[in-house]
Structure 1
Amino acid sequence: MTIGLENGTVMRAFRIYTLLARDNAVGKERLQEYMADDVVRGLVDQFAREVDCVTVIAGEQLYMIPETRLSPFHMNNEVIKRTYLRANAVNADLYLMYVSIIVLIGGFYDSYQTMEPTRSFIGIEEWTELVNERIALLKTHPEAELREMEQEFSYNWTALIEKWSAMDDIKETAARQSGNTISRVSFMDSVRKFLVAQELVIDIGNQEITLTEKAKVVVQRYFMELEYNRGILEFLYQSNTFEEEGSEHASHL
């Protein structure tokens, strides 16, 4: 694709790519340069694809996001555990983190029934309660069904249920316990810190967070797509057995 192109054009595209590779994002000036020239834009996108990434425009920022686990820019599970979770975190902590993020987004998108957020912010306490509701729903499934779903989605549902159940409801009680038990509040705060670091949410004070433009674009491009999360969303958001019959949920997606 680069054969016959002016060296200056290639270098402009490469400079944008190197900034994306270093910082994961570029600001307004580079975004305008990216948008103004079809050739530059095509080259940047091609460079990104070569490392299994995609470019995403959100607000006045251009982001480069890993699309597969093969990307050298993909953050692996060990890095997430070491950086954002407690020192002795295990895979069950990761499963619970992923589900907590899915539930958070579901809180903004009316259980995934809408393509646009239906609220502007959510409190950490409410988010924690929403996760608790999803875990309570998972507990109503027979163990055999959970095992079957584990094979289908590569999520260890049983382990994350046990992990959440072992956590204490309030921080003060957990602080008095020894061993590996932490509070749900502490865990959710760790997930919040991860999302802030990834520029997916912003703290707005009063223990409340809001989605970034980057998060909204990622949700629209990936979370709503069947090939990525649809089956998991349907499983998590199917009608609750303890709610009234006919309650509409994301199972109708």
Structure 2
Amino acid sequence: MQYNNEKIMKAFKLYLILSAKGYAGKDELRLYIADDTIRALVEQFAKEADCTIFSAGDNIYMIPLSKDSVFHVSNDTIKKEYLTSKAVNLDIYLMYLSIIVLIGEFYDSYSSTEPTRDFITMSDWLESINERIESLKEHKEEELKTLDKEYDYNWSAMAKKWSDMDEIKETAKKQDARTVSRVSFLIQVKNFLIKNELVSDIGNNEIELTEKAMIIVQRYYMEYDYNREILDFMYNLDNKEESES
């Protein structure tokens, strides 16, 4: 198909904006929706970079679909910009685990395709992670090692690191991302999610999912076989305990 040069340049300009910021505003969204040719070109550019395009609210977004995408956020970037100076890759896995649990709280343990709650408190999020970690620890050591290999996640190390976080400070009245505790770790994860427009802080230590987050979860997150295996494992832990009791 032959494309008009002017439309190619407009599409490429929009792609450059998305590449630089990850999103674009109302004017760009209007152009993307109104012109089929420009939309097709932008989506083609994004596909070549292993990314996808979608709109949410007044914005248009571009997100990577795999770790191989040049737009995938590296572990080093996450550690440098969102975690403490002493953070290691295990902290990133704990961050991912925390996000899995958070989304599960909104989607009824991944049994629903629509959110079943409007918001969650930080304390409820923390308690839910504690429950998942305790469920993990119910596995025997050898079984955990097998699961580590099966899912390419160091579940046993994550459970130990979470358990070793300073519980004494959990009840401190004032905590921030620099405090060494589970609460402070969740503050770091929350800040990461806010920065990436995935949750909104609505006050009273409560957060809600953004429209962007809901679209990502519904269209992409639950579709990947690898993610489904992780989710099935995490949310079958309670069933395992019930069957053994």
User: TM-score normalised to the size of structure 1?
Assistant: 0.89
Pair 1:206 & 2:204 matched: yes
Runs ≥4 in structure 1, deviation > 3 angstroms? 172-175, 241-246
Contact 1:174 1:183 in 2 (8 A): no
Q: Partners of 2:92 and 2:59 in 1: how far apart? A: 29
Q: Which residue of structure 2 lines up, in the alignment, with residue 192 of structure 1? A: 190
Identity of matched residues, %: 53
Q: Partners of 1:78 and 1:161 in 2: how far apart? A: 22
Q: Which residue of structure 2 lines up, in the alignment, with residue 157 of structure 1? A: 155
Q: How many residues align?
A: 241
Runs (5+) with no aligned partner, structure 1: 247-253
CA offsets 1:181-214 (integer angstroms, 9 cap, x no match): 9211111101001111111001101111100111
Contact 2:201 2:207 in 1 (8 A): yes
Contact 1:81 1:89 in 2 (8 A): yes
Contact 2:135 2:237 in 1 (8 A): no
Contact 1:170 1:184 in 2 (8 A): no
CA offsets 1:145-169 (integer angstroms, 9 cap, x no match): 2112211221110110011010123
Contact 1:34 1:40 in 2 (8 A): yes
Q: Which residue of structure 1 lines up, in the alignment, with residue 64 of structure 2? A: 66
**CA RMSD after TM alignment:** 2.3
CA offsets 1:113-153 (integer angstroms, 9 cap, x no match): 10010011101111000000000000011222211221122
User: TM-score normalised to the size of structure 2?
Assistant: 0.92
Q: Which residue of structure 2 lines up, in the alignment, with residue 89 of structure 1? A: 87
Q: Which residue of structure 2 lines up, in the alignment, with residue 30 of structure 1? A: 28
CA offsets 1:38-67 (integer angstroms, 9 cap, x no match): 111110001111211111222221100011
Q: Partners of 1:207 and 1:181 in 2: how far apart? A: 17
Q: Which residue of structure 2 lines up, in the alignment, with residue 12 of structure 1? A: 10
Q: Which residue of structure 2 lines up, in the alignment, with residue 249 of structure 1? A: none
Q: Partners of 2:151 and 2:217 in 1: how far apart? A: 19
Contact 2:136 2:237 in 1 (8 A): no
Aligned with 1:193: secondary structure?
Answer: helix
Match for residue 235 of structure 1 among 229, 233, 245: 233
Contact 2:14 2:42 in 1 (8 A): yes
Q: Partners of 1:181 and 1:27 in 2: how far apart? A: 36
Runs (5+) with no aligned partner, structure 2: none
AA aligned to 2:92 is L
Pair 1:42 & 2:40 matched: yes
Alignment of 1:111-122 (within 5 A): 111-122=109-120
Q: Partners of 1:221 and 1:31 in 2: how far apart? A: 19
AA aligned to 1:62 is I
